[in-house]
A and B are shown apart, each in its own frame.
Chain A
């Protein structure tokens, strides 16, 4: 196996954000495009430099058309821990692979990026000149070169401790940039229709990537809210639909979530959000529906289910209730006259969600959802389990000192048969999970406040 040969090695320059989410994103995307994640290097850490083997440049380009975690990708020609090592590594790179890009008819430019250090112009020029031994035959064009080459120098991650010499130096041919600009262009700040818990744009694209969403897929969100998660999938060419128990949100009515705005305007609904980005053709439908009581006929329709269920903090967790239980303060949905109960145990909700996913996902389809966690009590066993779904990744995002949420990605690997509905009850996994029910209480309880106060005292 030619894993260590110098062919088909690429350098990914990663963004230093959402660190835990990056590897699952790249792995998911590579498998979406027919590649497989292979790397000799230990890259689970915080480094922004990842060296991977990718079967073809096409796959590398396709990867970059989707990723929001990676800034750029380079065809790696050489690297080392010192300039000498770099030059020697470059001399070992097969000349026949370099020549097509150094042709006398072509134009090029060499850039230099340094990480965690600033170089003077003089220092930069010196380093570029040192590469004169490479067989560049083309003409330099600084404005619009056909080929761009880059030297990347890694001076570590600690801004308070910058080394004299770089830890690593890389040289490669720039191939493509990632999609990080989507984060700005789809920013929630500019979106017409938002809710209290609309998802940050970067994370919504990461979720679509974890979900391996592709063109012509059908993506469903059972807790659709203002449809933010659907936008990312629609951007990648999937047709989208969703349901939500809240009539007002689905219809785009009621109080606005924006500061300085009281009521929602006529252009604020899920369809309008898609229209804002030119994605209206991907809008299938949204329905007012209770995710715990789905109304789909038996079958597998969804290629991906991507959702952010309510945690019971800023949006209440609810399901439809009984006519008998109408205590004070309960919401009544005016158009349907159905009482909506305010309590829906979180663990039941995740059980329903997993069961629903197992039943309605196509085989190989993915479920991507957020699981709120009270960190002091979290263990891996608490992550909900289902015999038809395989856990792919589990990435933490801290929310506060004692709470976080985890982005769980699962893949359907087994066809759903009715009896699966009950097997979880027999599983030990069910019991430790009860902790999630009290997530809301723990979040708000004096416990967390007391701990915070104690910590503050001990620091003084």
Chain B
């Protein structure tokens, strides 16, 4: 699971609503996966990112060189975009868990794939 995806995921446990974001990340196996750098794509993603959640996740994974916020003119700042590219797309959590911050419910990540399934009782109607 990439950090870009983690940044978009939220718990849908019943009653939790927007407090289900961000999911608390805990990783037991992480892999760095080189991905071809595409500045246009990274620039498109910047406005979608929730920075506090990204920084929290990056911190849990002990990542360094993570920009604290988007800088003015980021679309043309290759250094900034390269750092963001690495954080969002090249860090892959293979094994771990995502935890709903409100209910404590755990969603497992195995082989890089999060499992978000909840039973009827657990989800919002």
A binds B: yes
Give the interface of A toward B (CB within 8 A): 215-216, 239, 241, 243, 245, 247, 250-251, 281, 284-290, 293-299, 301, 320-323, 333, 335-336, 338-340
Chain A, residue nearest B38 (CB): A216
A-B contacts besides A287-B114, A333-B117, 4 pairs, CB < 8 Å: A251-B113, A285-B1, A288-B116, A320-B123
CB within 8 Å of A: which of B1-22?
1-2, 4-5, 8-12, 18, 20-22
Partner of A295, one of B2, B10, B35, B113: B10
Compute how far the CA of A374 lies from the CA of B20 in the bound complex, rounded to whole angstroms.
Answer: 41
Q: Is B103 an interface residue (CB 8 A)?
A: no
Contacts of B115 in A (CB 8 A): 247, 287-289, 335-336
Cross-chain contact A245 with B18 (CB below 8 angstroms): no
B9 is contacted by which of A281, A293, A295, A339 (Cβ under 8 Å)?
A295
Q: How far does the alpha carbon of A250 sit from the alpha carbon of B109 in the complex, in Å?
A: 13
Identify which of B10, B41, B124 gathers the most chain A CB atoms within 10 Å of its CB: B41
Report the separation of the CA atoms of residues A259 and B21 in the bound assembly, to the nearest whole angstrom: 44
Q: Is the CB of B113 within 8 A of A320?
A: no
Q: How far is the CB of B105 from chain A (nearest CB, A)?
A: 11
A216 touches B40 (CB 8 A): yes
Specify which chain A residues have a CB less than 8 angstroms from the CB of B50 in the assembled complex.
297
Nearest-CB residue, chain B, relative to A289 = B116
Please provide the 4 A-B residue pairs with the shortest distance between their CB atoms, ordered closest to farther: A322-B120, A297-B10, A289-B116, A285-B5
Evaluate contact between B41 and A239: CB separation under 8 angstroms: yes
B117 touches A321 (CB 8 A): no
Instruction: Determine the residue in chain B with the shortest Cβ distance to A281.
Output: B36
* B15 CB to nearest A CB, Å: 14
Q: Does B68 contact A (CB under 8 A)?
A: no
Bound Cα distance from A293 to B113, whole angstroms: 17
Contact code string B18-34 (vs A, CB < 8 Å = 1, else 0):
10111000000000000
Within the complex, what minimum Cβ distance (angstroms) separates B67 from chain A?
A: 20
* A-B CB contact pairs (8 Å), 14 listed: A245-B117, A281-B38, A284-B2, A286-B113, A287-B114, A288-B117, A295-B10, A298-B18, A299-B8, A301-B48, A320-B118, A321-B119, A321-B120, A338-B118
Once bound together, how far apart are the Cα atoms of A216 and B45, in whole Å? 10
Beta-carbon contact of B10 and A293 below 8 Å: no
Q: How far is the CA of A287 from the CA of B21 in the complex (A)?
A: 17
| Identity of the chain A residue whose Cβ is nearest the Cβ of B5 in the assembled complex | A285
In the bound complex, residues from chain A placing their C-beta under 8 Å from that of B111 are: 251
Q: How far is the CB of B74 from chain A (nearest CB, A)?
A: 16
Known contacts A216-B41, A320-B119, A322-B119; decide if A287 and B8 are in contact (CB<8 Å).
Answer: no
A341 to chain B, nearest CB (A): 8
Q: Is the CB of B119 within 8 A of A338?
A: yes
Mark each residue of chain B from 86 to 125: 1 if its CB lies under 8 Å from any CB of chain A, else 0: 0001000000000000000000101111111111110110
Q: Which of B4, B38, B48, B121 contacts A299 (CB 8 A)?
A: B48
Residues of the A chain whose Cβ atoms lie less than 8 Å from the Cβ of B11: 295
> B4 to A338, Cβ gap below 8 A?
no
Shortest C-beta distance, B84 to chain A (Å), equals 14
| Cα A214 to Cα B20 with chains together (Å) | 32
A295 contact set on B, CB distance < 8 A = 9-12, 116
CB pair B121–A323 under 8 Å, yes or no, is yes
B117:A284 contact, CB within 8 angstroms:
no
Closest to B89 in A: A284
Interface-centre pick from A215, A321, A338 (highest chain B CB count, 10 A): A338
Q: Which residues of B contact A320 (CB under 8 A)?
A: 117-120, 123
In the complex, the chain A residue whose C-beta lies closest to that of B35 is A281
Cβ contacts under 8 Å, B62 to chain A: none
B44 in the interface, Cβ–Cβ < 8 Å?
A: yes
Question: In the complex, A245 Cα to B116 Cα: how many Å?
Answer: 9
Q: Are A288 and B123 in contact, with the CB atoms below 8 A? A: no
**Chain B residues in 8 Å Cβ range of A289:** 115-117
How far in angstroms is the closest Cβ of chain A from B66?
19
A241 and B123 contact, CB distance less than 8 A: no
Chain B, Cβ-Cβ closest to A252:
B111
Chain B nearest CB, measured from A268 CB (Å): 13
Q: What is the bound-complex CA distance between A281 and B89, given in angstroms?
A: 9
Docked Cα-Cα span, A296 to B117, in Å, equals: 13
Known contacts A216-B38, A216-B44, A285-B2; is-contact A297 B119 (Cβ 8 Å): no
| From A215, A294, A296, residue with most partner B Cβ within 10 Å | A296
Find the B residue at minimum CB distance from A321.
B120
Residues of A within 8 Å of B118, CB to CB, are 290, 293, 320, 338
Residues of A within 8 A of B12 (CB): 293-295
On whether the beta carbons of B119 and A284 are closer than 8 Å, the reply is: no
Q: Which residue of A lies closest to B36 (CB)?
A: A281
Contact across chains for A322 and B113 when beta carbons are under 8 A apart: no
A251 / chain B contacts, CB cutoff of 8 Å: 110-111, 113
Q: Are A297 and B9 in touch, CB under 8 angstroms? A: yes
B38 proximity list for chain A (CB < 8 A): 216, 281
Given A284-B4, A295-B9, A296-B9, are A290 and B44 neighbors across the interface (CB < 8 Å)?
no
In whole Å, how far is A295's beta carbon from the nearest beta carbon of chain B? 4
A243 to B9, CA, bound (A): 12
Whether B5 and A297, one on each chain, are in contact in the complex, defined by CB atoms closer than 8 angstroms, is: no
Assembled-state Cα–Cα distance A297/B54 (Å) = 14
